[in-house]
Amino acid sequence: MLVLDAARVRAKSLRQVISEPGYAGRVVAVIQRLVAAQAPAEVLDLLYEATETMGAEYAVFVTYIRGNFSHENFRFVLACDPRWCFEYKARASYSDDPWIMYASSNTEPICASQIQGLSRSQREAQALAVTYGMASTFVVPAPSSGALSRIGMLAIGSRQAGFFEGDGGAEFKVLGRSLAMELHGWWVRRLRAEMISELDITPEDLQLLMFERSGLGTKQVASELGATVGAIDSRWQRLNRKLGTASRAASARLAAEYGLI
Amino acid sequence: MKQPGRCYPLGYLLVLAPPTLLVLGLLAGIPYLLFAALFGVAPLARAILGNMPEEPGEWNEFVTMLLDRLPMLAAAVHAAALAGVLVLLRQGHSLENWGAWVGFGLSLFASQLCGIPVAHELIHRRGIQRTMGRILSGITGYPVLEGEHIRHHSVSGIVEQPEWPRLRESVWGYVGRRLPYAFRSAWKYHRMLRHSSSGFRGLATSCGAMVITAVMFGMAAGGAGVLVYLCIAAAVQFSVHAINYIQHWGLGLDSVPNADEGRYGWECRCVLQGWVMLNIALHYSHHQNSSTPYYRLTPHKASPRLPGGYIPLLFISLVPALFRRFMEPALSAWRRDPAQQNEPKGRRIICMPVVYGAPGANKQRRV
């Protein structure tokens, strides 16, 4: 988790902020720099800059595997009050976070105040965010397409109550989506690289996975690679062990879900 | 480093042993057979079988596919064995005296408890396998396993909530805190996912399985049968959380500064335990990636190692002073040097106590 504190109060409304000359251009310019970011610390700086440029004070981006709430699947980028982060972790709030739950099954950005059907613990999680400065929050899901199971959620917060509930939400939504999807794309690439490095996945392994995903049989793959069927089977044996799966079909499915291919 | 031999995967078939021995014991007039085997003989197995290898095995896809399907078979065998036993009792295959009934009850408890690692493996999977896990957890008398366990994986090291035991807490205190919390936690989990198949429908499946099992006990032995089932269910629930206590004691944020990121759990390399319980004792590795199937788990190089297996430690934990006597040296040794891997070495009749030396003292090759 990376955290950067931002505590400046803004008096302008959302409509006033987005009506400033060059607003959209300045925000897009920051978002574009995300593509070239090398490290999470750089992403954090850019998130803070984008948040401020957009007229808000705080932001949180989280990426996780849809439907899997195990701790190891979550990655956070936190441009917000560090005390909120510590308390959020201590309460393990992300396992019952209303914003994460919303992003898991919706694609439309929404004001947090409009999310319905919250349990008591979810209302408490929301109240905790208000306590630490996010009086008004805009929740932007970052969905994935195809087999990719990793999704994201961007929450942009303002100290001003009702900031996002007022006029200007439609325009803000476009920029929020753009920021969320760039953050999501960055993390997908980052985690793909991490997985390849940690599991020692070679380019030949990726090629094998793509062949399997394309539906090629073992003989066809052997012919393509100029190898014997036995050699291909051995390679699959090693690759399945690396990926922790039982079969080549499961390995190809996992690789697609985790963005390896 | 030593890798598992080619015949190693065959050992996992022993996951079918507990329900099989339950039925065989009843048929053979030795109702305590499973309990005696699991709690009396199995802890001595390290003398013959030793520890599992540190390196993963590389098996062909046919073997790994069979291993992948084995938990489903085990779940079916557990259910069939329980149904078979109840049918035998109803048909008059009665037990002769109170001693036989106690022996049978203990064996039944042992079989139900051994169903939990199978259910645990299945609930970490998807689709029909997760559904089978829910059904099995209901049959064993712990229908909230999915909800509370999935949430357990979403937190690490937190001792304020009963997810990780406190350093100064006994098993009695922890289970007393955890049991009601587990039910609330499971309810929250299923409510959170109420729009998916893991929501209330999932909880209804496991609760329904428990109710049906209770009814079958009633049909086999009347009110006494239902009472026996519920008592065994309570014992299973206590044991599940007592084992959770053993798996995470001393590894929370009140003891280890980075427990939240570390996701620490004690590990034990006893081969027989690994086979019968589908490597549930490789708990540190399991918490690093909960999606890894049991046959792909290997002991983590820097994991804290238990001074003995779950069965002896389960009994030892009931006496808090005795538990601390065994575990505190293990915890201190791990803190000094996580890579030292202090654990029962080689083939021994009794797996405890472990000798803890200075850092670097125990670096001989292990069996």
Residue numbers in A near B123 (CB within 8 A): none
pTM, whole model, 2 decimals?
0.90
Does residue A123 sit at the B interface (CB-CB below 8 Å)? no
pLDDT digits (tens, 9 = 90+) for B23-66: 999 999 899 999 999 988 888 877 788 888 888 888 889 999 99
Confidence label for B362 from pLDDT (cuts 50, 70 and 90): very low
CA B107, B112, B114, B115 dihedral sign is positive
Q: In a 3-state reduction of DSSP, which class is residue B96?
A: coil
Please state, in angstroms and rounded to a whole number, the distance separating the CA atoms of residues B203 and B144.
7
Task: Give chain B's mean pLDDT.
Answer: 89
Q: Please, what's the b/e burial string for B339-353 (b: 16 or more CB within 10 A of its CB; e: otherwise)?
A: ebbbbbbeeeeebbe
Which residues, in sequence order, are bridge partners of residue B270?
Answer: B51
A95 closest CA partner among B154, B99, B67: B154
Does residue B196 sit at the A interface (CB-CB below 8 Å)? yes
pLDDT digits (tens, 9 = 90+) for B236-276: 999 999 999 999 999 999 999 989 888 999 999 999 999 99
Is residue B353 scored above 60 in pLDDT? no
How many residues would you count in chain B?
367
- Dihedral pair phi/psi, residue A65, rounded to 5°: -85, 125
Cβ distance of B58 and A105 shorter than 8 Å? no
Rounded to the nearest angstrom, the minimum Cα separation between A136 and chain B is 23
Average pLDDT value for residue range B103-112: 95
Does residue A247 sit at the B interface (CB-CB below 8 Å)? yes
Is residue B331 scored above 50 in pLDDT? yes
In this structure, of A171-175, B89-93, B298-302, the range with the lowest mean pLDDT score is B89-93
Q: pLDDT at position A1, please? A: 52
Residue numbers in A near B291 (CB within 8 A): 68, 70, 244
* Cβ within 8 Å of A, B 163-192: 163, 188-189, 191-192
A59 closest CA partner among A137, A152, A163: A137
Instruction: Tell which of B121, B154, B159 to mutate to test the A interface (max A CBs under 10 Å).
Output: B154
Confidence label for B366 from pLDDT (cuts 50, 70 and 90): very low
Per-residue 3-state assignment (H helix, E strand, C coil) for B244-303: HHHHHCCCCCCCCCCHHHHCCCCECCEHHHHHHCCCCCEHHHHHHCCCCCHHHCCCCCCC
Q: Which helix (H) or strand (E) holds A121?
A: helix A120-131
Average pLDDT value for residue range A35-51: 94
* Residue among A70, A121, A248 whose CB faces B61 most closely: A248
Q: pLDDT at position B195, please? A: 72
Is residue A90 scored above 80 in pLDDT? no
Please state, in angstroms and rounded to a whole number, the distance separating the CA atoms of residues A261 and A190.
14
Q: pLDDT at position A3, please? A: 54
Please state, in angstroms and rounded to a whole number, the distance separating the CA atoms of residues B150 and A168.
40
Residue numbers in A near B57 (CB within 8 A): 241
Amino acid in the structure at residue B57: G
Please state, in angstroms and rounded to a whole number, the distance separating the CA atoms of residues B211 and B198.
19
pLDDT digits (tens, 9 = 90+) for B10-25: 999 999 999 999 999 9
Q: Please, what's the b/e burial string for B228-257 (b: 16 or more CB within 10 A of its CB; e: otherwise)?
A: bbeebbebbbbbbbbbbbbbbbbbbbbbbe
Does this complex have an ipTM over 0.90?
no
